[in-house]
Structure 1
Amino acid sequence: MVALQRKRKEDSPQANGAKRTKSAATSSFILHSYSKLPDVNEFKSAKTQPLDVFVWGTGSMCELGLGPSASTKEVKRPRLNPYLTSEKIGNKGIVDFAVGGMHVLALDSDNGVWSWGTNDSKVLGRDTSGAKEVLKDMDQDESEDEDGDLNEAEATPGLVENLPKLADDVKVVQLAATDNLSAVLYSNGDVYAWGTFRCNEGELGFLKDIKKQVTPKKITQLHNVVQLVAGKDHLLALDSKGIVYAWGNGQQYQLGRRILERHRLSSLEPQQFGLYNIKYIASGDFHCFAIDHNDKVFAWGLNQFGQCALTDSNGELEDGSLITKPTLIPSLSDRNIVEFACGEHHTLALTSDGNVLAWGRYDMKEIGIPKNELPESTYKDQHGKERSVPVPTVIHFGKRESKVKAKAIGAGSHHSFAITDDGMVYAWGFGDTYAPGLGPLDGDVEKPTRIVNTATKYHDIQLIGAGGQFSVSGGVKITDEDKAEDRLEKYEEIDE
């Protein structure tokens, strides 16, 4: 999850009637009238469905949470995490999770938050310094060091410490994980966070006067939050009034506003930036989306691969292209989009009727479109090599004529997933780290390919997420054997 260093362009592309959002004067008026504004979004409720948690990919930084054994560093297909079963964590099942670049947060049904992965930025919310250290043999060859065991405390899921217990009826309803920071949203709209934000030059900080936050701390500038989403090193929050706030690193305009160098630390405090009447927000590493209550879609941030679904007036893309402010995206508006999943330079969208759209970077096959099916809108570099698809394009699962519909999507830095309406998972994209979950691969996965393995064979997968080089899913065991077998036969026929 490393940002490409490219020359920045200040002018954002305006194509096909793309328009800016409301003026600063409107912003000031709305904020001064905040208490009188109606609620347009409902508060989230706590999830209750226990999930079996599966992990796979490369876990050299403890990302898989399978314990300290060196044998857990590479898992080629989904594997049940034995530390997160109901029996292991005290008869409390995992009901939700959020995946960061190199760590994971998981929520149990008793309001406990579990964490695992690298803890360099204190993102795990617990002390891992006392972990059992595996001493290296003095005679061991340097090349063998990578085969050593992992940090036991980081590689084993543990409860976040000092997470506040609010009123009995106030529950944790959402988790968010950036590369270096963690956050939780409570059902009363409060947000707590810990860790730090980073930027191109290194550590940026947690707040103006806090470089790194070790324990969960309330973000006092936020109230009535109904949704929280994470980028690589920034966060977005949506409140009940339909207003969006952003904070963290804004070097690629992912905060929806210009951050002057001399005021860079001011970006560590949540601020609104002109988005109102919003019902849903989403973020990739460096680009973001919002959908308003009129089904209009806005995007901002890094766009050099067309990941925001916008080109310039000539239909071209530029290295370092930036959309500096929330901008209307005509090709995504009025399409009944219910979910976005964004990677480093690509985007997926799920529509209400179960179709999956994909666009953005192509060279690692992130968008799941075979080369012989690339649309005319495909952008090629000066050498004629396919570089990206900036126009949202419907992707297909199994036989082209099959009617497979999706209920959820997920994206890592350069790999992607779609969950079908009956809980099967299709994967595609960068394959070197085993992150697609398809076993040993000779290269990248060009088109959506169904994950076939014993561990998830009889599971209805409900939720999926991914980081830089690993992935996580959660599912419910199908207890009706006949139903499970019928489902397998259905997809074997679809994938022939």
Structure 2
Amino acid sequence: MKRTHSGEGSVRSHKRQRSVQLHSTLNKHYKPLNSANDYSKLFLSEKPLDIFVWGTGSMCELGLGPSHKNKEVKRPRLNPFLMAKEGTEPFITSICCGGMHTIALSKDNKVYTWGTNDSGALGRDTTTNATEQLKDMKDADADDDEDGDLNDLESTPTVVTGLPETDVKIIQIAATDNMSCILYENGDIYCWGTFRCNEGILGLYKDEIQTQLTPWKLPLNFVSKNTKIVQLAPGKDHILFLDEFGVVYAWGNSQQGQLGRKVLERSRLRTLEPRPFGLDNIKYISSGENHSFALDHNGDLFAWGLNQFGQCGVSKDVEDGALVTVPTKVLLPENLDSKVKMVAAGEHHSLVLLENGDLYCFGRVDMYEIGLEKSKIPEANCYKDARGNIRSVPVPTKMEGAKPFKYVACGSHHSLASTTDGVAFSWGFGETYAVGLGPAGEDIEVPERIKNTATKEHDIVFVSAGGQFSCSGGLKLSEEEADKREDAYDDE
């Protein structure tokens, strides 16, 4: 039997009572969100998409099967395993990249995973290789350099079993570095994998589950009976939940302040469960690797977590190891021309996309993560080292001269964006080919168009990025539509 300190049970009871009282208050003042709100539409495509992958796939991240030449794909390549049959209609409606794995959702409510399964992030058994011989994936527009077999069960997109047989739709999928999570329209959450911390595996749930290898239903005792979760926001080793009354919950590793609350070392396993931390009136959430964001109903954006390169965007001053321990307002310009549409963030950089297509960038610049031309960054927005070199831009700064964007994503040190006319751009760290711009493997300072045979006739709807790879999802354009768009770019 576990011993508790005197009064510990009453403290927990008091905290639970306060949480229920908070929900009761919110129920009276805030109009509930629902699965059909504007921000939920960011996660699902109304039409099935062709899925393209590129980057370094040495850990099976690209999902192209165990063929010998698929370790490095330097430009987007259509993934044929995510087609019903070769040459037929696509069936994937959502994708989400973790650090070294990807999760995808099909139009018939099935979940597919691929990538490394060392921490159980795929939610299925990959210990025994299948004997079926899979064909080589050939694409004249993509180059591969390394040989060697990959685990066929990790490298091939495969359905996750063990999820409920139900008509209730999945409305969002999410992937951290070592965990996957899915959200149903009724608020049910299933997850698998684990969280890691600086010392290694932290665990998944309290001290009860270290690593979960198959789908597991998360107990929803952290929310009141009269509400449900409507959004997820995965980080590297933490995840945020948003309920329909605007309360935010955080779960996972807290060592960089990404949970918005202090967790004592001696109690970190007992507290390894989703908990609120005083943030409410929120309508949208997002996470970087070790920092987090929340947008409230007033249009104010808040951030917290690791901030040593100014990736939280809350102060002009930065320092090594700096943490923003409580949600703090992001220093976006007053009287923006448009409202915030979405936020994307990597390890040390962040992007804020407005509804009018403008993009504000902040954080580290060593590998051109934020896509701003150094010579044109306002002096007042820069942080320089002792030698006068720009190291970061801690103040949200508008990207000038770019086409209007409709979707953005961040890998660890690179960024992706899709324009309103469906063309993909990328910038940042290029050595792993995650920018998708060909064999040079160079870092890209400002957004550059990803142009190749595989995607030139597609309207790119989604982009997603992992540690060293990227994915996009697109709708095939008619020949007339594609030619018209190409002519517009040729005229520039």
TM-score class, shorter-chain normalisation, is: 0.7 to 0.9
| Equivalent in 166, 172, 175 of residue 174 of structure 1 | 172
Confirm or deny that 1:260 pairs with 2:264. Answer: yes
> 2 CA distance for matches of 1:372 and 1:327?
29
Q: How far has the Cα of 1:283 moved from its partner?
A: 0.2
State the one-letter code of the partner of 2:239.
L
**What is the match of residue 322 of structure 1?**
323
1:444 has 2:435 as partner:
no
Unaligned runs of 5+ residues in structure 2 are 1-15, 133-145
Q: Which amino acid aligns with 2:329?
A: L
CA contact (8 A) 1:297 1:333 kept: no
Could you tell me which residue of structure 2 aligns to residue 407 of structure 1? 406
CA distance in 1, matches of 2:406, 2:416: 11
User: How do residues 113-124 of structure 1 correspond to structure 2 at under 5 angstroms?
Assistant: 113-124=111-122
Residue 268 of structure 1 aligns to a residue whose secondary structure is coil
Residue 30 of structure 1, aligned match among 8, 13, 22: 22
Moved more, 211-220 or 328-337: 328-337
Q: Percent identity?
A: 54
Q: By how many angstroms is 1:373 displaced? A: 1.2
* SS of residue paired to 2:105: strand
User: What is the CA-CA distance between 1:441 and the residue it aligns to?
Assistant: 2.3
Tell me, yes or no, if structure 1 residue 293 matches structure 2 residue 303.
no
Contact preservation (8 Å) 1:55, 1:79: yes
Structure 2 residue identity aligned to 1:424: V
CA-CA distance at 1:429 after TM superposition: 0.2
Matches within 5 A, 1:124-203: 124-132=122-130, 147-166=147-166, 168=167, 170-203=168-201
Q: Report the more deviating stretch, 192-201 or 221-230.
A: 221-230
What is the TM-score when the length of structure 1 is the normalising length? Answer: 0.87
CA distance in 2, matches of 1:204, 1:344: 20
Residue type of the alignment partner of 1:185: L
Would the alpha carbon gap of residues 71 and 318 (structure 1) be closer, same or farther in structure 2, given more than 3 Å must change? same
Q: CA deviation at 1:267?
A: 3.6
Report the residue type matching 1:387 in the other structure: R
Deviation at 1:220, TM superposition (A): 1.3
- Deviation string 1:353-402 (CA, Å, 9 cap, x unpaired) is 11111110000000111122122121111222210011111114xxx3x7
Pair 1:230-2:265 in alignment: no
Does the 8 A contact of 2:119 with 2:179 survive in 1? yes
CA shift in 2, pair 1:334/1:244, >3 Å: farther
Equivalent residue letter for 1:40: P
Distance in 2 of aligned mates of 1:90 and 1:435 = 28
Change (3 A) 1:116 1:229: same
Distance 1:485 1:91 in 2: 22
Separation (CA, whole Å) in 2 of partners of 1:124 and 1:75: 22
Structure 2 contact 50–473 (Cα < 8 Å) conserved? yes
Q: Which runs of 4+ in 1 moved over 3 A?
A: 24-29, 31-39, 44-48, 88-92, 332-335
Cα distance in 2 between the residues matched to 1:334 and 1:468: 35
Letter paired with 2:163: L
Is 1:43 paired with 2:44? no
Residues 378/246 of structure 1: CA separation in 2 closer, same or farther (3 Å cut): same
Q: 2:392 aligns with which of 388, 395, 398?
A: 388
Question: By how many angstroms is 1:132 displaced?
Answer: 4.8
Letter in 2 for 1:356: L
- How far off is 1:152 after superposition? 0.7
Which of 484, 488, 492 is the equivalent residue of 1:490?
488
Check whether the contact 1:43–1:225 (CA below 8 A) recurs between aligned residues. no
Distance in 1 between residues matched to 2:310 and 2:290, nearest whole Å: 12
Aligned to 1:265, what secondary structure does the other structure show?
coil
Deviation at 1:133, TM superposition (A): 8.9
1:374 maps to what in 2?
377
After superposition, give the CA deviation of every residue in 1:412-451 in whole Å (9 maximum; x if it has no partner). Answer: 0000011110100111000000000001225210110001
The code of the aligned residue for 1:164 comes to: P
Distance 1:239 1:89 in 2: 41
Residue 275 (structure 1) aligns with: 279
2:76 alignment partner, SS class: strand
The equivalent residue for 1:19 is none
C-alpha change, 1:362 and 1:164, in structure 2 (3 Å) is same
Contact map agreement 1:43 1:189 (CA 8 A) in 2? no
Which residue in the other structure is 1:16 paired with?
none
Given the superposition, is the C-alpha separation of residues 281 and 331 from structure 1 closer, same or farther in structure 2, using an over 3 Å criterion?
same
1:108 to 106, 109, 129: 106
| Aligned: 1:477 with 2:476 | yes
Q: Confirm or deny that 1:353 pairs with 2:363.
A: no
In the alignment, the residues of structure 2 paired with residue 259 and residue 332 of structure 1 have an alpha-carbon distance, to the nearest angstrom, of 33
Deviation at 1:457, TM superposition (A): 0.6
Residues matched between the structures, number:
451
Indicate yes or no: 2:340 matched with 1:337: yes
1:329 Cα deviation from its structure 2 partner: 2.2
Structure 2 distance, partners of 1:485, 1:111, is 34
Q: Could you say which residue in structure 2 is the equivalent of 1:303?
A: 307
Out of 363, 366, 381, the position equivalent to 1:363 is: 366
Is the contact between residue 77 and residue 439 of structure 1 (CA under 8 Å) also seen in structure 2? yes
Kept in 1: contact 2:432–2:441 (CA 8 A):
no
Residues 205-227 of structure 1: CA distance to partner in whole angstroms, max 9, x if unpaired? 11121111111111112551110
**Per-residue deviation at 1:333?**
6.8
Kept in 1: contact 2:310–2:317 (CA 8 A): no
SS at match of 1:486: helix
Q: Secondary structure at the match of 1:50?
A: coil
| TM-score normalised by the chain length of structure 2 | 0.87
CA distance in 2, matches of 1:279, 1:34: 13
Is there any run of 5+ residues in structure 1 with no aligned partner, and where? 1-23, 135-145
Out of 248, 252, 272, the residue aligned to residue 248 of structure 1 is 252
Distance, in Å, in 2 between the alignment partners of 1:451 and 1:92 is 22
Q: Is the 8 A contact 1:407 1:421 kept in 2?
A: yes
Q: Give distance in 1, aligned partners of 2:450 and 2:66.
A: 26
Equivalent residue number for residue 53 of structure 1:
51
User: Aligned partners of 1:78 and 1:365: how far apart in 2?
Assistant: 21
Query: What is the identity, as a one-letter code, of the residue corresponding to 2:429?
Result: F
Question: Once the 2 structures are TM-superposed, how far is the Cα of residue 41 of structure 1 from its aligned partner?
Answer: 1.0
